[in-house]
Amino acid sequence: MTRVEHSVETLLELGREAAQLAGRLLRDGRPSGLGVAATKSSPVDVVTEMDIAAEKLITDFLIDFRPLDGYLGEEGGTTAEGVSGVRWVIDPLDGTVNYLYGLPSWAVSIGIEMYGERVAGVVEVPMRGETYFAHRGRGAFVTGGVHGRKDVPLRCRADAPLAEALVATGFNYVAEVRAHQAEVARDLIPQVRDIRRGGSAALDLCDVAAGRLDGYFERGLHPWDLSAGDIIAREAGALTGGRPGRPADGELTVAATPGVFEPLQALLDELGAWHD
């Protein structure tokens, strides 16, 4: 493939606009009941009509501007390799169960890759009125909410000992995997300040970036779960990875302040957080 120069700033601006459009659709169109379109990995892993509608809105919007790009969406509405070297990695509704029940912790996540490397990402959080975004090498920012219309730089918390760290996690929807994850959480709790379970990987990664959490870990994430949040956390000064020496992936994703990252990663590896 011939490498073509692309403006990351332009791509990020398109991503922000697409995420905001989808966020408004989801916020204003949430059904009053618990209508479920289908289940995925298990009876409790759901996809709603709104997930599908939001993904279609995002991809239709982006394809109008970027017809030669690649697209990877969680709900499979648009999966294309592309020929431009740019790929959009889309989770139209991260935190679907929260959304179904009217809990505010859900988000629209769009990661941007160029020639196989993450270069930017945006996470739209409609119920907070916040937009998180990052451009590789240029920092991470949040706008909206209490910050108003200013782009406010994000910075992870100052380092604390692992014993004083507030750590978030998530649980798989397959019963056997959830049971093992509960055992890991049980063994981890005495060694940290406390554990939180927010229900949205993208939002947990942004909360590490914003200094609301000292760390986050989860097994079983897909590329669309972590694409945008990973670069936002890293650009805010956090470290991210998987098992020791490996990148964040479906086996294990860890994000934390620099002082918490290595001891948390090592402990999770020892506890077997990476296997079922």
Confidence category of residue 44, pLDDT binned at 50, 70, 90? very low
For residues 21-40, average pLDDT: 74
For residues 160-183, average pLDDT: 93
Contacts 24+ apart (CB under 8 A), 58-62: 58/18, 58/19, 58/21, 58/22, 58/90, 58/92, 58/108, 58/110, 59/88, 59/90, 61/14, 61/17, 61/18, 61/21, 62/14, 62/15, 62/18, 62/88
Closest by alpha carbon to 92, among 160, 42, 4, 24?
24
Confidence (pTM): 0.92
The pLDDT assigned to 272 comes to 94
Give tens-digit pLDDT for 71-118: 999 877 556 688 999 999 999 999 999 998 899 999 999 999 999 999
Q: Which domains does the chain have, with CATH numbers?
A: 8-153 (3.30.540.10), 162-271 (3.40.190.80)
Confidence category of residue 139, pLDDT binned at 50, 70, 90? very high
